[in-house]
């Protein structure tokens, strides 16, 4: 083999290894991202593997607009002077007129329960916007970089607010997820690069 042939062979090998690294990183990043999504939005766990938290049971006053399952809204009533009851209305700030409301003595937890949603632990799922934004947040940057970057300031702000509210890192990787990523990368890279 001539020196030129040897250099050409090294260049081909380098190219093969670079492509294998890119593909392995993509596969490991996507698989890890799905694990993180399940941890947060299904299991309700923070990055330290503890529960994110519990939903508030402090009394809550909500309008029908707050309900995703509109059939679950039952307008609250209050006693009137004649001994009967009348529907309850409240004028919220910046509203043009009073709106029908429902008083939930069990707070946000009850709001989720009466709509048939999980309420035993915080899973950050209500409208589904945060979960959808996180699912679609995995982005490639540069040749080898991958990161979860939520687009839309409201959703990104909501993620930060939740971390601050519960005093926990939620969207960071757990130690187990870091190990999973590394192992997935190595096994995929070895297959793609055909290294034993």
**Of 5-14, 50-59, 121-130, 150-159, which has the strongest mean pLDDT?**
50-59
Helix, coil or strand: residue 80: coil
Residue 154: which residues within 8 A CB-CB, separation 6 or more?
A: none
Rounded to whole angstroms, the Cα distance separating 196 from 142 reads 28
For residues 183 and 96, state if they share a domain.
no
Range of the domain at 114: 55-120
Backbone phi, psi, residue 78, to 5°: -140, 160
pLDDT attached to residue 195: 60
pLDDT attached to residue 42: 95
What pTM was estimated for this model as a whole? 0.81
pLDDT attached to residue 196: 47
pLDDT attached to residue 83: 81
For residues 190 and 135, state if they share a domain.
yes
Is residue 159 one of the residues assigned to a domain?
yes
Are 122 and 133 within 8 A, CB to CB? no
For residues 132 and 87, state if they share a domain.
no
For residues 46 and 131, state if they share a domain.
yes
Are 25 and 18 within 8 A, CB to CB? no
Helix, coil or strand: residue 161: helix
Q: Does residue 147 register a pLDDT over 50?
A: yes
Total tally of structural domains belonging to the chain: 2
pLDDT attached to residue 153: 65
Backbone phi, psi, residue 86, to 5°: -140, 155
- Report strand pairing: 89-90 vs 99-104: antiparallel
How much is the average pLDDT of 68-77? 92
For residues 94 and 148, state if they share a domain.
no
Polymer length in residues for the chain: 196
For residues 70 and 48, state if they share a domain.
no
For residues 110 and 67, state if they share a domain.
yes
């Amino acid at each position: 083999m001539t020196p030129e042939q040897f250099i050409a062979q090294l260049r081909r090998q380098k190219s093969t290894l670079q492509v294998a690294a890119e593909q392995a990183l993509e596969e490991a990043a996507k698989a890890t991202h799905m694990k993180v999504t399940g941890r947060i939005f299904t299991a309700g766990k923070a990055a330290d593997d503890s529960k994110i938290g519990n939903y508030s049971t402090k009394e809550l006053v909500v309008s029908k607009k707050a309900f995703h399952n509109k059939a679950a809204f039952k307008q609250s009533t209050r006693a009137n002077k004649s001994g009967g009851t009348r529907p309850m209305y409240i004028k919220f700030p910046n509203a043009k007129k009073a709106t029908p409301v429902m008083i939930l003595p069990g707070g946000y937890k009850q709001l989720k329960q009466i709509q048939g949603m999980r309420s035993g632990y915080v899973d950050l799922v209500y409208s589904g916007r945060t979960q959808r934004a996180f699912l679609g947040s995995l982005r490639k940057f540069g040749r080898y970089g991958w990161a979860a970057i939520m687009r839309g300031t409201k959703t990104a702000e909501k993620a930060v607010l939740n971390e601050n509210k519960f005093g926990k890192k939620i969207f960071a990787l757990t130690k187990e997820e870091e190990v999973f990523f590394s192992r997935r990368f190595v096994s995929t890279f070895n297959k793609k690069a055909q290294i034993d």
